[in-house]
Chain A
Amino acid sequence: MFARIIPIVVKEFIELKRDKWARFRLIVPTLAQMLLFGYAATFEVYHVSTIVLDLDHSQESRELVSRFTFSGRFDVALARSQAEVTKAIDSSSAAVALVVHAGFAQLLRKGQEAPLQVVVDGTNSNTALIALGYVNTIAQGFAQDYASDLAERTLGVRGMKQVQVTLEQRPWFNPDLNGRWFFVPGLIGTLTLVIIVNLTAFAIVREREVGTLEQIMVSPIRPAEFILGKTVPFFVIGLGEVALIVAVAMLWFQVPFVGDPLVLLLGSALFLLSSLALGLLISTLCSTQQQAFSMNFFILNPFFILSGFSFPIASMPKVLQWFTYINPLRYYLVVIRGTFLKGVGLGVLWPELTAMAAIAAVLLTTSILRFHKSLE
């Protein structure tokens, strides 16, 4: 049996070696996507363009504004009139506007509530929400310090004179809330899925289109051996792809890897099996490369969106959430992030690994059965 599989494996590697396009498709999109996602895909909010209208010109108002300037989150520009503020928000040249009305300091000194008016461009709700959070934090810090200062000056006591409950932030696994740590490891899943499904589907459809598939079938090789011989090279390529992305993530993007590499390897192997089976399945449904191309697009896109790669599954409607349970990428991403960032092992990840094994088994059986049929 091995004697018949090995020539197929060798043939496949030779074909890949000669196919310049295939090599291009393996390496260039991988690196391009890694760079794009590593640098461009971020929900972090720094340098919010901010316009400030200070109508009070007091020491207090200047102190408040300087807190925004020095927070590193806001790029502050000064406005001279309310019209200027409105125009800046309308034309998107500022995303946040702060207005301090005349009499602000007076109210503060009298111990009355002094308002700080904030206008946020809500077009991008995510950025707006995070920016508002930062505005509130800075404003609260200012209010607290001012209150304790006032207490100290008027009553001669140190510290706050009243009760206050505060919330302390303890972000685990990613203490700086670095978006790169979220996106870059996730690419291991999305990129290998696309590459492996494409390679497998195209390799078999090409044989069918060119007509070499029939030649192979009249040789003494059995279908199971043919499938094995076809998929082993892609499995190896898939593992290489995983290794490449892990290396770039750790060495170039400095994403920490705190877990067990063997767990990631196990997860990757199971995921690759599902991807190979999916590619095989697509190949049985298509007779031309063109069809395979469209089919890949229509099938892979939902896998991609409904995986939790960039959009939280918990925010999706229930029906779509159900679909994610049959998506191997969903489980693989949990394994990747679990091993990279959380450092959890088999004890925590066994449900995901079992689910992936089950999906791989179902997909492999269906695709092999269908493949047999498509040959007859």
Chain B
Amino acid sequence: MKFRRLKAIAVKEILQVWRDPRSLMIALLLPFTQMFLFGYGVNLDLKHLPVCTFDREGSQLSQDLLKHFQATQYFNIAHNAKTYAEITAAIDDGQCGLAIVVPPDFSERINDTGTVPVQAILDATDDNTANIAFGYAAAVVEGYSNDVAVSWMDRQGKPLQQIQPMVVQSRVWFNEDLESRNFIIPGLVAMIMALVGAQLTSLTISREWERGTMELLVSTPVKPIELMLGKLMPYLVLGWLDAAFCLALAALWFGVPYRGTLFALFVTTSLFLIVVLSIGYLMSVLIRSQVGASQIALLVTMLPTTLLSGYIFPIDQMPKVIQGITYLIYSRYYVSIVKDLFLKGSSLVELSTPIIFLVIYASTVMLLAARAFRKRLD
């Protein structure tokens, strides 16, 4: 391997990228648009869910309960129904996601002791929103219930003891405010890197084939390994720039807390870039047309990365077979690394398992690409 030949290939590749508007668009426009589109569009936080109420009693107490709902930022009372049919209609046409139904004997039953049920009708077509909304609603009702119990005991002249025999003292670590943005954006960086990296290099070899310059390259003394490294180098630099841009945007623009060291981020990001660039290169070697190569590269990066990397959907909730498959998805390792670096501030030692997997992945893909290239030449 000669450094001079490596450099020549790298310089040639830089010139080609610079002159190819398509590559530049992928490298510059794609991270920018995707960061903002996903950064703002992908959000699981529940805020101001339109709520429909049906107060069948209309007493002081029942109105009090509904005021508790209005007071939280999670709900927004959009409609006060007078009949049950109104509720059905509001839920049917998606005007409200939750309906609270207060029974007609609400105050009577509160004054009498015992358990008073209030109904929460949920539009469960979106099961996740429904589930989270119910959790918040249950908390609102519990708070109200305690208020009522305290004043009831007060009136009975009983000593004010605690209402619940047991309290849950919960603390949330790493993402203290439970904002979905804080875990989606670091994963998003991983997804964009996977996409951009593989797209860029998927064009390199197929471009030579399509333009007929491959034969020329083969007739030069350059060796396959030199060709591969020379071609990947410029993209690694481009990848670093993209990564720096996306990560800076995540921390500074979107305000995701970064708690790790920059060195750990640099090492792991470089490793991941080597993996994705080699994958794109492999596609490029295997498929001779640029369109075909970039389509396949999109197919193998986009879908698995969005669904199977743990970027949004938690891997440990998937069926065992699919969990097994996720070990083959290289983004999985980087997604977990970036999230841990951002939110937990993990050290390189703590991240050693995913790092080892990435190293294995990188060497396997590079080996495959080198071998496939040799075969194609014969």
Query: What residues make up the interface of A, taking CB atoms closer than 8 Å to B?
Result: 29, 32-33, 36-37, 39-47, 49, 64, 89-92, 95, 108, 111-130, 132-133, 135-137, 139-140, 142-143, 146-147, 150, 159-175, 177-179, 181-182, 289-291, 293-294, 297-298, 301-302, 305-306, 310-312, 314-317, 320, 334, 337-338, 341-342, 344, 348
Q: Is B42 engaged at the interface, CB distance under 8 Å to the other chain?
A: yes
Within 8 A of A (CB), among B299-346: 299, 303-304, 307-308, 312-314, 316-319, 321-322, 336, 339-340, 343-344
**Cα(A294)–Cα(B24), bound, Å:** 12
Query: Are A150 and B165 neighbours in the complex by a CB distance under 8 Å?
Result: yes
Q: Is B113 engaged at the interface, CB distance under 8 Å to the other chain?
A: yes
Q: Is B171 engaged at the interface, CB distance under 8 Å to the other chain?
A: yes
Query: Are A293 and B291 neighbours in the complex by a CB distance under 8 Å?
Result: yes
Q: Is B178 engaged at the interface, CB distance under 8 Å to the other chain?
A: yes
Contact of B294 among A115, A293, A310 (CB under 8 A): A293
Query: Are B125 and A40 neighbours in the complex by a CB distance under 8 Å?
Result: no
Which residues of chain A have C-beta atoms less than 8 A from B29's C-beta? 298
A32-B165 contact given A163-B110, A172-B122, CB 8 Å threshold: no
Query: Are B175 and A125 neighbours in the complex by a CB distance under 8 Å?
Result: yes
Which residues of chain B have C-beta atoms less than 8 A from A310's C-beta? 312
Q: Nearest chain A CB to B95's CB is how many angstroms away?
A: 10
Contact of A168 among B42, B120, B350 (CB under 8 A): B120
Which residues of chain A have C-beta atoms less than 8 A from B343's C-beta? 123
Query: Are B122 and A122 neighbours in the complex by a CB distance under 8 Å?
Result: no
Query: Are B128 and A163 neighbours in the complex by a CB distance under 8 Å?
Result: no
Query: Are A165 and B178 neighbours in the complex by a CB distance under 8 Å?
Result: no
A137-B138 contact given A132-B170, A172-B122, A305-B41, CB 8 Å threshold: yes
Which residues of chain B have C-beta atoms less than 8 A from A306's C-beta? 37, 41
Query: Are B168 and A174 neighbours in the complex by a CB distance under 8 Å?
Result: no
Q: How would residues 171 to 192 of chain B score, 1 for a CB under 8 Å from any chain A CB and 0 otherwise?
A: 1111110111011000000000
**Cα(A36)–Cα(B313), bound, Å:** 11
Q: Nearest chain A CB to B69's CB is how many angstroms away?
A: 11
Q: Is B286 engaged at the interface, CB distance under 8 Å to the other chain?
A: no
Of all A-B residue pairs in the complex, the 7 with the closest CB atoms, nearest first, are A133-B135, A122-B175, A171-B124, A174-B124, A43-B128, A122-B172, A165-B145
**Cα(A116)–Cα(B165), bound, Å:** 11
Which residues of chain B have C-beta atoms less than 8 A from A119's C-beta? 170-173
**Cα(A24)–Cα(B115), bound, Å:** 60
**Can you pick out 24 interface pairs between chain A and chain B where the beta carbons lie within 8 Å of each other?**
A36-B308, A39-B322, A40-B322, A45-B317, A108-B166, A111-B162, A116-B166, A117-B170, A129-B178, A133-B134, A146-B165, A160-B114, A165-B110, A165-B115, A166-B141, A171-B124, A171-B134, A172-B122, A182-B128, A294-B26, A301-B37, A305-B41, A311-B43, A314-B48
**Cα(A126)–Cα(B298), bound, Å:** 28
Contact of A121 among B110, B124, B129, B173 (CB under 8 A): B173
**Cα(A166)–Cα(B350), bound, Å:** 44
Query: Are A172 and B174 neighbours in the complex by a CB distance under 8 Å?
Result: no
**Cα(A342)–Cα(B123), bound, Å:** 9
Q: Is B93 engaged at the interface, CB distance under 8 Å to the other chain?
A: yes
**Cα(A27)–Cα(B50), bound, Å:** 40
**Cα(A39)–Cα(B315), bound, Å:** 11
Q: Is B73 engaged at the interface, CB distance under 8 Å to the other chain?
A: no
Query: Are A118 and B178 neighbours in the complex by a CB distance under 8 Å?
Result: no
Q: Nearest chain B CB to A199's CB is how many angstroms away?
A: 13
Count how many chain B residues have C-beta atoms less than 8 Å from C-beta atoms of the other chain: 106
**Cα(A118)–Cα(B121), bound, Å:** 29
Q: Nearest chain B CB to A370's CB is how many angstroms away?
A: 22
Residue of A nearest to B326 (CB): A40
Which residues of chain B have C-beta atoms less than 8 A from A33's C-beta? 303
Q: Nearest chain B CB to A347's CB is how many angstroms away?
A: 9
Query: Are A42 and B42 neighbours in the complex by a CB distance under 8 Å?
Result: no
Which residues of chain A have C-beta atoms less than 8 A from B33's C-beta? 298
A316-B41 contact given A29-B299, A89-B173, CB 8 Å threshold: yes
Query: Are B38 and A182 neighbours in the complex by a CB distance under 8 Å?
Result: no
**Cα(A49)–Cα(B314), bound, Å:** 12
Query: Are B134 and A124 neighbours in the complex by a CB distance under 8 Å?
Result: no
Q: Is B40 engaged at the interface, CB distance under 8 Å to the other chain?
A: yes
Query: Are A177 and B174 neighbours in the complex by a CB distance under 8 Å?
Result: no
Query: Are B169 and A289 neighbours in the complex by a CB distance under 8 Å?
Result: no
Query: Are B44 and A311 neighbours in the complex by a CB distance under 8 Å?
Result: yes
Residue of B nearest to A104 (CB): B166
Q: Is B217 engaged at the interface, CB distance under 8 Å to the other chain?
A: no
A139-B168 contact given A161-B113, A172-B123, A342-B92, CB 8 Å threshold: yes
Which residues of chain B have C-beta atoms less than 8 A from A173's C-beta? 123-125
**Cα(A80)–Cα(B314), bound, Å:** 28
**Cα(A293)–Cα(B297), bound, Å:** 12
Query: Are A44 and B317 neighbours in the complex by a CB distance under 8 Å?
Result: yes
Query: Are A305 and B167 neighbours in the complex by a CB distance under 8 Å?
Result: no
Query: Are B37 and A302 neighbours in the complex by a CB distance under 8 Å?
Result: yes
Interface centre among A41, A92, A122, A294 (most CB of B within 10 A): A122
Query: Are B145 and A123 neighbours in the complex by a CB distance under 8 Å?
Result: no
Q: Is B47 engaged at the interface, CB distance under 8 Å to the other chain?
A: yes
Which residues of chain B have C-beta atoms less than 8 A from A338's C-beta? 94
Which residues of chain A have C-beta atoms less than 8 A from B183's C-beta? 123-125
Q: Nearest chain B CB to A237's CB is how many angstroms away?
A: 19
Q: Nearest chain B CB to A114's CB is how many angstroms away?
A: 5
A116-B121 contact given A41-B307, A41-B313, CB 8 Å threshold: no
**Cα(A219)–Cα(B104), bound, Å:** 76
**Cα(A189)–Cα(B227), bound, Å:** 43
Q: Is B201 engaged at the interface, CB distance under 8 Å to the other chain?
A: no
Q: How would residues 113 to 153 of chain B score, 1 for a CB under 8 Å from any chain A CB and 0 otherwise?
A: 11111111111111111111011011101101100110011
